[in-house]
Amino acid sequence: MSRADVAPTESSRPIRRVAILGNPNAGKSTLFNQLTGLRQRVGNYPGVTVEKKTGSCELPSGQRIELLDLPGSYSLHPASPDEVIVRDVLLGLQDDTPPPDLILFVVDATHLERHLYLALQVLELGRPIVLVLNMMDAAEAEGIRIDLDELSRSLGVPVVGISAAKGEGLGHLRRIMDRDVEPSTLRFRSWPPHLLRVLQRLDERLPRHPLMPERARDDFALALLLDDGEDDALARSAPPDVLEDARILARRLDLVSPGWRGDEVEGRYATIHEIVERAVASPAQRRDHLRDRLDRVLTHRIAGPILFFLLMGAMFQSVFAWAQPAMDLIDSLVGRCAGLVSSLMPDGPLESLLVDGVIAGVGTTLTFIPQIAILFLFISVLEDSGYMARAAFIMDRLMGRVGLSGRAFIPLLSSFACAIPGIMATRTIDNRRDRFTTIMVAPFMSCSARLPVYALLIGAFVPDVWVGPFTLPGITLFSMYLLGVLVAIGVAAVLKRTLLQGGRPLYVMELPSYRAPSWRTILPGVRDRSLLFVRKAGTVILATSICLWFLGSYPRHTPASAPVEARLAAAVASGDSVAVAAAERDLDAVRLEHSWAGRVGRAIEPVIEPLGFDWRIGIGLITSLAAREVMVSTMATVFHLGGADEESASLRDQLRTAVDPRTGERAYSPLIGVSLMVFFVLACQCMSTVAVVRRETESWRWPILMLVLMNSLAWLASFAVFQVGRALGLGT
Amino acid sequence: MSGAPDGALDTLDRLRPGERGVIERLEGEPALARRLMELGLVPGTTIEMVRSAPMGDPLELTVRGVHLSLRRSEAMHIHVSR
Across the range A630-643, mean pLDDT stands at 73
CA A273 to the chain's CA centroid: 39
Indicate whether A647 pLDDT > 70.
no
Q: Which residues of B touch A75 (CB under 8 A)?
A: 35, 38
| CA–CA separation, A449 and A419 (whole Å) | 10
**Res A627: pLDDT:** 76
**Res B3: pLDDT:** 45
| CA–CA separation, B31 and A262 (whole Å) | 9
| CA–CA separation, A374 and A320 (whole Å) | 9
Indicate whether B4 pLDDT > 50.
no
Can you give the pTM of this predicted structure?
0.80
For the stretch A221-231, pLDDT in tens is 998 988 877 77
Per the model's pLDDT, the better-predicted residue between A278 and A358 turns out to be: A278
CB A462 within 8 A of CB A673: yes
- The string of DSSP codes covering A423-482 is HHHGGG--SHHHHHHHHHHGGGS--TTTHHHHHHHHHHHS---EETTEEHHHHHHHHHHH
Q: Which of B42, B53, B70 is nearest residue A265 as measured by Cβ atoms?
A: B42
Q: Would you place residue A1 in the very low, low, confident or very high pLDDT band (cuts 50, 70, 90)?
A: very low
**Res A46: pLDDT:** 76
**Res A661: pLDDT:** 66
Q: Which of B38, B71, B74 is nearest residue A74 as measured by Cβ atoms?
A: B38
Q: Which residues of A touch B29 (CB under 8 A)?
A: 503
| CA–CA separation, A630 and A363 (whole Å) | 13
| CA–CA separation, A189 and A270 (whole Å) | 11
Across the range A68-76, mean pLDDT stands at 93
For the stretch A246-295, pLDDT in tens is 999 999 988 888 888 888 899 999 999 999 999 999 887 767 788 889 99
Helix (H) / strand (E) element for A550: namely helix A519-553
**Res A297: pLDDT:** 94
CB A33 within 8 A of CB A525: no
Name which of B50, B55, B62 to mutate to probe chain A: the one with the most chain A Cβ atoms within 10 A of its Cβ. B55
Q: What is chain A's Cα-based Rg?
A: 31
Angle between the N-to-C axes of helices A240-256 and A260-279, in degrees from 0 to 180, rounded to the nearest 10: 80
What 8-state DSSP symbol labels residue A183? B
For residue A606, the tally of other CB atoms under 10 A from its CB is 9
Q: How far is B55 from chain A (nearest CA, A)?
A: 6
| CA–CA separation, A654 and A620 (whole Å) | 15
| CA–CA separation, A205 and A240 (whole Å) | 12
| CA–CA separation, A615 and A59 (whole Å) | 68
Indicate whether A4 pLDDT > 50.
no
Across the range A130-156, mean pLDDT stands at 94
What's at A101, amino acid-wise? Answer: D
Supply angle C-alpha A73, A79, A81, rounded to 5: 75
Q: Which of A466-470, A549-553, B13-17 has the highest mean pLDDT?
A: B13-17
Quick check: B40 and A113 CB within 8 A?
Answer: yes
**Res A306: pLDDT:** 93
For the stretch B22-77, pLDDT in tens is 999 999 888 888 999 999 999 999 999 999 999 898 999 999 989 999 999 889 99
For the stretch A522-572, pLDDT in tens is 888 788 778 877 776 677 777 877 888 888 888 878 888 888 888 888 888
Quick check: B69 and A509 CB within 8 A?
Answer: yes
Q: Which residues of B touch A23 (CB under 8 A)?
A: none
Across the range A671-696, mean pLDDT stands at 91
Number of H helices, E strands in chain B: 2, 6
ipTM: 0.92
**Res A429: pLDDT:** 81
* Residues of B within an 8 Å Cβ radius of A: 26, 29-40, 42-43, 45, 51, 53-58, 60, 64-71, 73-74
Indicate whether A5 pLDDT > 50.
no
| CA–CA separation, A294 and A286 (whole Å) | 17
Indicate whether B7 pLDDT > 70.
no
For the stretch A565-617, pLDDT in tens is 888 888 888 888 888 888 888 888 888 888 888 888 889 999 999 999 988 89
Quick check: A510 and B53 CB within 8 A?
Answer: no
**What size, in residues, is chain B?**
82
Supply angle C-alpha A46, A47, A51, rounded to 5: 60
Quick check: A508 and B42 CB within 8 A?
Answer: no
Q: Would you place residue A6 in the very low, low, confident or very high pLDDT band (cuts 50, 70, 90)?
A: very low
**Res A536: pLDDT:** 66
- The string of DSSP codes covering A20-71 is EEE-TTSSHHHHHHHHHTT-EEEEE-TTS--EEEEEEEE-TTS-EEEEEEPP
Q: What is chain B's Cα-based Rg?
A: 12
Closest C-alpha to A546, from A291, A347, A337, A363: A363
